[in-house]
Amino acid sequence: MSRLEAKKPSLCKSEPLTSEKVRATLCVLKGILTSSYGPSGRLKQVHNGLGGCVCTTSQSSALLSNLPVTHPILKILTTSTKNHVSCFSDCGLFTAILCCNLIENVQRTGLTPTTVIKLNQHLLRLCTNYLKSESCGCRIPVDFSSPQTLLCLVRSIVTSKPACMLTREETDHISALVLKAFLLTIPENTKDRLILGKSIIVPLKGHRVLDSTVFPGILIEVSEVQLMKILPIKKSNAFKVALFCASLSGDLSDTGEGTMVVSSGVSLENAVLEQLLNLGRQLVSDHVDLVMCQKVLHPSLKQFLSMHQVIAIDRVGVALMEPLSKVTGTQPIGSLGSISPSSYGSVKDLCPAKFGFKHFLHLIPNEATICSLLLCNRNDTAWDELKLTCQTALHVLQLTIKEPCVLLGGGCTETHLAAYIRHKTCNEPESILRDDGCTQTELQLLTEAFCRALESVAGSLEHDGGEVLTDMKYGHCWSSQAESPSVVNWPDWLSRCGCGLCNSQEELHWSFLKATQHPIAPQTCLPHEATGSSNNLTLDCFTAKLSGLQVAVETANLILDLSYVIEDKN
């Protein structure tokens, strides 16, 4: 008899946000997230007390998937961030921190949820419209003729992940590699639609980061014994390739629902093997040089092929099938019978390669959009972090191709946007208040909460005790070194703003970010080629940040709208 456990009644809590416990946990989560944010963010070590692997990270995706979150409200926040990250790879921490800030700030205002949600939506619309408009002062168009902007974008992403443990030189190297890998995936001649290829990341742990390289084509890992058998590879102009998706192990295929009766003395194995060898004969007579199979090759067939100087590689795995068929131009063969000649493909060259202790067979294509990024790092955790970073960077580059512009990084977008919103709501409140029945005071209160939330995201980039300031002309974000005297000549203490676009030697006025901000109309600061400022900018992905902003505000609205939490405790 199975044990019956008494059903626990569901738990129902009203006004979950007002509870002190929830506020405290929210505050802790915010603390974890803000302290990891940015290039100087602190690392988090996530581990289980019982042992097992340790994860050292500062990335939202790794952090949030490992954090045990129990309260439903926090769950909404973390899941929403995780979903955002799985879509855009970037700006996860930004989204989560902004959401926390918004919730906190709005609660402090004490406005009713209805008003808050309405106004938040208005402010969000202001933001998105501004960011999408041509006049936006924190957006830079991407110039594809020079790699500078894209390189800056990649470097900003790599530097913002301190857990990769890269030196300056290594950072530059990795950024250049990632950009190169990305450029290799762009087809040379495109018709109507641009179909990007794929960069395959090949792991090589325990080596110097500077050993990382990128190759066009595919690296297939093979054992040393296997490689010895293949060698030496005869030279030719092109290698004919056959790629099988069907199993060539000699097992019987699906025989239907009925029964099959085999008379004694009839060996099906022989019959199937005979068939496989026939196939081998056809491959040889078709002058195929390389046979690859997703599944298993029968040993006899393998031997037969190697006798005829055909290289046979099996157990390629389903993940490599699509890139392989792209690189070689083959069509995966699903038949053991006659093979149509059009299914064969070719590679330009085939050469063995050895990196560290691993042996690879390198397939060099004639022209394809697949490349392999051989990624090295000293230890497992750092490698994992580096891999995530490279994937993020590659994804961000893909997103940037779709929407060819970038946003200023280093907190400048946030402060600039906050300044713009303040200015807008102060000077033209009618456009917002027109149809909503909210008062001007309510609008001002909420605008302040909203802008503060944005500004404190920018402020959380600073971790070393320095002051965060904003200038009164462009609305950019500046951060000073720690222990600067209270009254100073700011231009001497500050050199460049967060994104690196503005120079402190211009006639600027600053104010502390924490102090009360006066509405200013932020101007656009254009990159000057002459000063060389455009070479070393900190940039953010436009699409990811825009969506992150929207998701953060929407999630905050959703959480603020909750008046009951009903939990099933069973």
Partner 1 sequence: MVVACVSSHLRRTGDGAKTFIILLCHLLRGLHTVIDKEQDSLISKNIQTHRRHWKNCCQWKFISQALLTFQTQILDYIMDHYLSKHFLTIFSSSTEERTLCRSSLELLLEAYFCGRVGRNNHYFISQLMCNYFFKCMACESGFEEVFDLVDDYFVELNVGVTGLPVSDSRIIAGLVLHRDFSVYCPADGDIRIVIVTETIQPLFSASASEFILNSEAQFQTSQFWIMEKTKAIVKHLQSQNVKLLLSSVKQPDLVTYYAGLNGISVVECLSPEEVSLIQRVMGLSPFILPQASSQYEICNTASVKFCKPLTLRSKRYVHLGLISTCSFVPHCIVLCGPVQGLVEQHEGALHGAFKMLRQLFKDLDLSYMIQTSDQNHTSSPLTYKDSRESNPLPEIVNGLIQRPYQGTVVKNKGNLAKTQTYLKVYSNLVVPSVELETCIPCSTPKVTPTDTYQTNETLRCLAPTKTRTIDDNEPFIESNSANSTAENTGIEISSENLQVTKIAGKGNMLPVREKSLEMCTSQSYCCSTLPAGCVLPVGGNFEILLHYYLLNYTRKCQQSEESVVSMIIANALLGIPQVLYKSKKGKYSFPQIYIRTLHALQTSQPIVSSQKGLESVAGKYQLLTSVLQCLTKILTIDLVINIRRQPREMYDQDSDEEV
Radius of gyration of the chain (CA): 30
Handedness of CA 220, 223, 226, 230 (dihedral sign): positive
Residue of 19, 320, 554, 565 that binds partner 1 (CB under 8 A) = 554
For partner 1, the binding residue among 145, 189, 263, 489 (CB under 8 A) is: 263
The alpha carbon of residue 471 and the mean position of all alpha carbons in its chain are separated, in whole angstroms, by 32
**Distance of closest approach, residue 296 Cβ to partner 1, in angstroms:** 14
Q: Does 257 bind partner 1 (CB under 8 A)?
A: yes
Secondary structure of residue 377 in the 3-state scheme: strand
For the chain, the straight-line distance linking the first and the last C-alpha, in angstroms and rounded, comes to 20
**Is residue 277 near partner 1 by the rule CB under 8 A?**
no
Using the rule CB under 8 A, is 270 a contact of partner 1? yes
- Per-residue x/- track, 76-115, partner 1 (CB under 8 A): x--xx-xxxxxxx------------------------xx-
Binding flag, residue 555, partner 1 (CB under 8 A): yes
Q: To the nearest whole angstrom, how small is the minimum distance from the Cβ of residue 36 to partner 1? A: 21
Asked if 256 interacts with partner 1 (CB under 8 A), we say yes
Among 5, 188, 254, 435, binds partner 1 (CB under 8 A): 254
Smaller CB separation from partner 1, 52 or 334: 334
By beta-carbon proximity to partner 1, the closer residue of 263 and 489 is 263
Which has the closest alpha carbon to 124: 546, 430, 439?
A: 546
Provide the 10 A C-beta neighbour count for residue 465: 10
Q: Nearer Cβ to partner 1, position 259 or 570? A: 259
Can you tell me which residue has the tokens 């439903």? Answer: 72
Count CA atoms within 13 Å of residue 397 on its CB side.
35
Q: Strand 370-377 vs strand 198-205: parallel, antiparallel, or unpaired?
A: parallel
Which one of 264-272, 349-357, 374-382, 441-449 is the stretch in contact with partner 1 (CB under 8 A)? Answer: 264-272
The answer to whether the beta carbons of residues 404 and 142 sit under 8 Å apart is yes
For residue 80, the minimal CB distance to partner 1 (Å) is: 4
Q: Look up residue 492 and give its amino acid.
A: D
CA dist 392 to 165, 320, 498, Å? Answer: 17, 21, 21
Cβ(545)–Cβ(91) below 8 Å: yes
Pairing outcome for strands 290-293 and 239-244 = parallel
**Rounded Cα distance, 520 and 514, in Å:** 16
Cα–Cα separations (whole angstroms), residue 147 to 179, 270, 528, 529: 8, 60, 17, 14
Q: Which of 35, 213, 226, 331 binds partner 1 (CB under 8 A)?
A: 331
Which string of b and e fits 394-403 if b means at least 16 CB within 10 Å?
A: bbbbbbbeee
Is 439 a binding residue for partner 1 by CB under 8 A? The answer is: no
In the complex, the smallest distance separating the C-beta of residue 406 from partner 1, rounded to whole angstroms, is 20
The gap from C-alpha 88 to its chain's centroid, in whole angstroms, comes to 6
Does position 547 interact with partner 1 (CB under 8 A)? The reply is: yes
Asked if 543 touches partner 1 (CB under 8 A), the answer is no
Residues 23-82 binding partner 1 (CB under 8 A) are 76, 79-80, 82
The answer to whether residue 536 forms part of the interface with partner 1 (CB under 8 A) is no
* Contact in structure between 119 and 424 (CB atoms under 8 Å): no
Residue 221: strand pairing partners = 360
Distance of closest approach, residue 91 Cβ to partner 1, in angstroms: 12
**By CB under 8 A, is residue 551 in contact with partner 1?**
yes
* Total residues interacting with partner 1, rule: CB under 8 A: 56
Residue 275 interacts with partner 1 (CB under 8 A)? yes
Residues 3-22 binding partner 1 (CB under 8 A) are: 4
- Does residue 359 touch partner 1 according to CB under 8 A? no
121 binds partner 1 (CB under 8 A): yes
Contact residues toward partner 1 (CB under 8 A) are 1, 4, 76, 79-80, 82-88, 113-114, 117-118, 121, 245-246, 253-263, 266-268, 270-271, 274-275, 331-338, 340, 342-343, 547, 550-551, 554-555, 557-558, 561
